Each structure stands twice: as structure tokens, then as C-alpha cells.
Amino acid sequence: MSLNVLIGEEKINKKIEELALNITDYYKEMTDEIVGVCVLKGSVNFFSDLVKRIKLNVRYNFIQVSSYTGEVTTGSVKVKSWLDEPLENKHVLIVEDIVDTGNTLKYIVKYFQRQNPLSLEITSLLMKTVHNHEVNVKFPGFEIGNIFVVGYGLDYDEKYRNLPYIGYIN
């Protein structure tokens, strides 16, 4: 099995700088503090690199949900761990690694909206263009086609997460 680079480390870092600037600009008139919610495990590298560059106070929160087994979506969302603080009257930014079908994000958004945050926005490093996600990703990263990607937090059966780039398997 061989890996090919789809998006290199330098290009990822440049996009994260751009997203952090856009996020800071968007929130700075509303607040000086946001709750950044990292969707584990795939978003951990993106989240870590992104929040360091946002020029606001970012409260960290983590959830672990999944709808994949290997490279196939199961069609149902499995919650492994959830929020440890209420979101009411807070500005919330969901940090996702990839939006494919949008099912996982729709599940998360629906649940978070019930907690009445002041605002609820999404950033995702990757957006698959093959599906109509029906999810408003305010701060999108890269658009990709219907390709299975690994690296920079994304995995294939828990492998390849530690790659500094986003690649695909031949």
C-alpha cells in the first residue's frame, strides 16, 4: 500500500493561518472568548494548530463521535465522550476534520442548539464536494473530491494519524 500527498504540510499551515484570521475577525466584535469544541480523534491536530493562532481566549472542549469503520461510513453516529460544560450563552466553534456526508455534524449541531449558545459556528479542514451536507460550515478549509484521505489526524483503522500532511492510499 503506497501513500500519495494530497495536501502538503506547508499548504495546511497556510490554510490554518487564514482560517484563524477569519475566525478572529468574525468573533472579535462579539466577544473576547469562544468555546472551541474539538471533534476527536481526527480533528486533534487541526484543533491544536488552529486555536494557537486564534487571537481570542479559547476555552477547550472535546467530544468523541464517529460514524466510520475503516473507510466506510456506518450511517449512524456513535458517541464515545461528550461535553463537560454547558454551552448556554456562549459562542461555540465546532472544529471538525472533514465533512463528508454531514451526518455527524448534523447530530452534533442539533444537540448543541438545544443548549442555547449565543452563536454556533463550524470550521472544517476538509470538505468533500460529492455530498450535499446540508450543514453550514462558516469557515471551510480545502475542498476535495470523493477520495479517502489519511494523515494530519485522519486515519485508516487508527493508522496514519501522525502524518504531517494529508494523503491518500493507492
The catalytic residues are 100
CA–CA distance, 121 with 55 (Å, rounded to integer): 17
Neighbours of 37 (CB within 10 A): 24
DSSP class of 63: E
Q: In one letter, which amino acid is 116? A: N
Tell me the CB-side half-sphere exposure of residue 59, using CA atoms within 13 A.
13
